[in-house]
Amino acid sequence: MNKLMAYWSILIKDMKNYYLKPPNISWGIIFPISWTLMFFMRSNGDVDIRDILPGLMALSILFGTTSMLAVTITFERKSRSFERLLLAPISLNLLMLAKTTGAIFFGIINAFIPVLFASFIVDLSDVNWLTTFIGVVLIAITSTFLGLLIAVSAREVFEAQTFSNFFRFPMMFLCGLFIPIENLPVFIQPLSYILPLTYGADMLKSSINSAGSINLWLSLLVLIGYAIALFRISTHNIKQKWIY
- Residue numbers of the domain that contains 76: 2-243
The per-residue pLDDT for 46 is 58
Give per-residue burial for 134-148: e unless 16+ CB within 10 Å, then b: bbbbbbbbbbbbbbb
What is the average pLDDT value for the chain, to the nearest integer? 82
Dihedral sign, Cα of residue 241, residue 165, residue 157, residue 229: negative
Contacts of 50 (CB under 8 A, 6+ apart): 118, 122, 124, 208, 209
> What DSSP designation does 187 have?
T
User: How far apart, in whole angstroms, are the C-alpha atoms of residue 161 and residue 182?
Assistant: 30
- Phi first, then psi: give them for residue 125, nearest 5 degrees: -70, -25
Q: What's the chain's Rg over C-alpha atoms?
A: 18
DSSP 241: I
What mean pLDDT comes out for the span 205-218? 91
pTM metric for this prediction: 0.89
Q: Is the dihedral of CA 51, 104, 214, 179 positive or negative?
A: positive
- Number of structural domains, the chain? 1
Angle, CA 38 vertex, CA 26 and CA 167 arms, to 5°: 55
Distance CA 178, CA 9 (A): 40
Distances (CA, A) of 109 to 29, 114, 115, 210: 10, 10, 10, 23
Q: Which residues contact 116 (CB under 8 A, 6 or more apart)?
A: none
What's the pLDDT at 90? 77
CA atoms of 108 and 94, how far apart (whole Å) = 21
- Asked whether the beta carbons of 227 and 138 are under 8 A apart, the reply is yes
Residue 166, pLDDT > 60, answer: yes
Give Cβ neighbours of residue 77 (< 8 Å, ≥ 6 apart).
151, 155, 242
Q: What is the pLDDT of residue 118?
A: 84
pLDDT tens-digit map of 41-55:
655 555 677 888 898
Nearest to 103 by CA among 73, 124, 125: 73
**Whole-angstrom distance, CA of residue 208 vs CA of residue 202:** 10
Per-residue pLDDT tens over the stretch 6-24: 788 878 877 777 776 666 6
Q: Which pLDDT tens digit goes with each residue over 65-124?
A: 887 777 777 777 776 676 677 666 778 888 888 889 988 988 898 899 888 888 888 888
